[in-house]
Amino acid sequence: MKIILRSIICFSVFFAAALFAISARAGVDERIVFSKDEVPIAYSVYGDGGPVLVFVHGWSCNRSVWREQIPYFEKKYQVVTLDLAGHGASGRQRSVYTQQAFGDDIAAVVRVINGNKVILIGHSMSGTAIIEAYQNLKHSVIGLIGIDTLEDIEYVLTPEKIDEFLGPFKADFAKATDEFVSQMFVKDTDPKLIDEVAAMMSHADPAVGVSALECYFKSSVIPLAPGIDVPLWCLSSDLWPSKPEVNRKYVKSFNLRIIPGCGHFLMLERADEFNKQLDDIIKQIITGK
């Protein structure tokens, strides 16, 4: 029975992935792997160089947010993009969407591609998720890069503040998400890009979105920090203030680079500059400089 159920789930996700591939460029390698809890995770592989760059989207997004990075980086490296559970073409069988479980999703993809010398790159919420994944992948990961995330790992919300923040999302997820997205961009951002991101995020599964937000707010990088033995970089905008001196209290290898004058989706807003800056960080991780 388990085999039959797994086959049905796999077919459903492959069908969703096929629809995704219609809008992608020809030659994309669409694959499925099962996470630790048997939820199917959709991912794509590009290029065949080394090391392996694993790009992980943020809250209520999907792997399409990396479309401007794939053509640039696949020429030199193997590039992997994935949809976390509950997002994009991946399964939604999970009842609670914790950062640890997202880390399991990432780890499952890295293991199935037999990646070594892997660099995990996570946007926003997934800055924490890639650190969770690293706990199970230390033998193969050589660097962690957060994109507009981990501004201050000491910052926490009280339970009351978490409930207050989640209230509008529980009442009307699409409306609350749309308003939330409007705060993620600077005033001169292309309106078409804002509309595109808002549509993607506001149409995400509300149950997944609320659970993921709640679990994210309740998670902390601090207990994981002593186990980080590789360079941890952040490439961020200046939309929200960062406190690298605080982060270095817990992770001595923490480094921060800022791209000023853009919003939260800097990989889409300033793709050319972003790619060059990210490429330089990757080279520093590889060479150990």
Class of domain 2-287 (CATH, top level): alpha beta
Residue 116 pLDDT greater than 90, yes or no: no
- CB neighbour list of residue 73: distance below 8 Å, 6 or more residues apart: 47, 53, 79, 275, 278, 279
Q: In which band, very low, low, confident or very high, does the pLDDT at 153 lie, cut at 50, 70 and 90? A: very high
- Cα separation, 145 vs 139, in Å, equals 17
End-to-end, the C-alpha distance of the chain in Å comes to 53
Domain ranges of the chain: 2-287
Q: What is the pLDDT of residue 28?
A: 57
Global confidence as pTM:
0.91
Q: What is the pLDDT of residue 5?
A: 37
Strands 40-46 and 118-123, bridge-based pairing? unpaired
> What tens digit of pLDDT does each residue of 258-284 get?
999 999 999 999 999 999 999 999 999
Tell me the two tokens of residue 137.
């992948």
> What tens digit of pLDDT does each residue of 119-144 get?
999 999 999 999 999 999 999 999 99
User: For 187-202, what is the mean pLDDT?
Assistant: 96
